[in-house]
Chain A
Amino acid sequence: MLFCFFSQMLSSAKQKINQSAFSISSSSSSLSHSHSQAKNMTQVTMEEVWKEINLASLHQHRQLNIDHEPMLRNQNPYNSIFQDFLNMPLNQQQPPPSTSSFPLPPPATVLTLNPHSIHTQFEESAKFGCFGKKRSQDSDESRGDRRHKRMIKNRESAARSRARKQECAYTNELELEIAHLQKENARLKKQEEQLKMAEATQHQTKKTLQRSWTAPF
């Protein structure tokens, strides 16, 4: 279902870019001028196309988010990956995504998308490499979001770590107290023993004393 959707978007994007490509190659002005002009034209067209795709993908993204919550931990898996597809130069192979568990392989249509004249434009922007998530167009917000998320995760991890440490400390404290109490217990027991002994001997001597007092001599 996803594949169909994306291939549809790509084919419509392809059409639009093809159209703009033809308009560029047909321009008669000098190379540099045409390049800059072309760049503006392609950028404008690209932005339009991108906006369209963005809106459409957002709707899809929202729907899918509910079903695939655990998988879509990355902020904008669809948007950033798609952007990178379009930014890629023709001949570069698509490396597998590093962080996302998103299973979509690169559609074949992307690589054949760019006609020769646009190749140079794309090459410039593609210098930053694919999956350069930091450099993609709308990365500013997603970059901040990703950093924020990472920070939160790190905090939670630190809190768990502290909790584990605390438990260790608590157990140690308890063990110390146990040892202390045991010692005191032993000491007190000894004392009691001693007192008992003392009392016993005292008791014995009293008896003999009494006897001597009552002796009828």
Chain B
Amino acid sequence: MSHARDPLVVGRVVPDVLELFTRSISLRVTYGQREVTNGLDLRPSQVLNKPRVDIGGEDLRNFYTLVMVDPDVPSPSNPHLREYLHWLVTDIPATTGTNFGNEIVSYESPRPTSGIHRIVLVLFRQLGRQTVYEPGWRQNFNTREFAAIYNLGLPVAAVFFNCQRESGCGGRRS
């Protein structure tokens, strides 16, 4: 019952990108002064540079992987390039942040041209330190598949925000 109110379900991130999961680690994503809450509206100018990411957990010996994808490429009504990989950081020790991890795929700022895109940040727990190979291209990425290949299991945390082009009307016509 409570799952129906979960913003990730309401926003269809589950099941479009992820399986249903239970949050177990805190994940704080901050662009400048703005902390990302689910469904927050951000414009490309506000997400130009990589955000500050702080994760929870207790044991520094546990490592986490962060994936940032856009499932609504090139447009939410026709997402045939789902998903677009914006950022991939592995080996992040618990209680630290992405600065301490291994940036496999560098941060590329979202620049949607059509529609309102969801940008999802997912945190997975690694079994140990592992080598992750960078995918050949950013589009048509599949988070589920990626997790399966590297035995990451279900996500431990996730958050998403909405992004549209700078001059977008916010999905509202006067």
Contacts and interface: CB of A to CB of B under 8 A. Distances in A.
Nearest to B172: A161
B77 A163 contact: no
A101 to B, nearest CB: 11
B106 interface: no
A167 B36 CA distance: 13
A32 to B, nearest CB: 51
Contacts of B77: 153, 156-157
A70 B10 CA distance: 27
Interface string B24-55: 00000000000001110000000000000000
A156 B76 CA distance: 9
A167 B11 contact: yes
Given A156-B77, A157-B77, A170-B5, A163 B38 contact: no
Interface in B120-174: 162, 171
Interface of A is mostly: helix
Contacts of A156: 77
B78 interface: yes
A170 B76 contact: no
Given A160-B116, A161-B171, A164-B162, A170 B10 contact: yes
Nearest to B39: A167
Interface of B is mostly: loop
Interface of B: 5, 7, 10-12, 37-39, 76-78, 80, 116, 162, 171
Contacts of B39: 164, 167-168, 171
A168 B39 CA distance: 7
B142 to A, nearest CB: 17
Contacts, number: 34
Given A160-B116, A161-B171, A167 B10 contact: yes
Interface-central residue, B11, B38, B39, B162, by most chain A CB under 10 Å:
B39
Task: Using C-beta atoms within 8 Å of the partner chain, give the interface range for chain A.
Answer: 10 to 19
Given A163-B12, A167-B10, A170-B5, 10 more contacts: A156-B77, A157-B77, A160-B12, A161-B171, A163-B10, A163-B11, A164-B116, A164-B162, A164-B171, A168-B39
Nearest to A161: B171
A109 B22 CA distance: 64
A150 to B, nearest CB: 10
Nearest to B40: A171
A-B pairs with lowest CB-CB distance, top 5: A167-B39, A70-B80, A167-B7, A166-B10, A163-B10
24 contacts: A70-B78, A70-B80, A156-B77, A157-B77, A160-B12, A160-B76, A161-B171, A163-B10, A163-B11, A163-B12, A164-B39, A164-B116, A164-B162, A164-B171, A167-B7, A167-B10, A167-B11, A167-B38, A167-B39, A168-B39, A170-B7, A171-B7, A171-B37, A171-B39
Contacts of B5: 170
Nearest to A162: B10
B162 A171 contact: no
Contacts of A157: 76-77
Interface in A46-73: 69-70, 73
B22 to A, nearest CB: 18
A166 B37 CA distance: 14
A33 B44 CA distance: 68
Contacts of B7: 167, 170-171
Contacts of B11: 163-164, 167
Contacts of B80: 69-70
A84 B10 CA distance: 45
Contacts of A161: 171
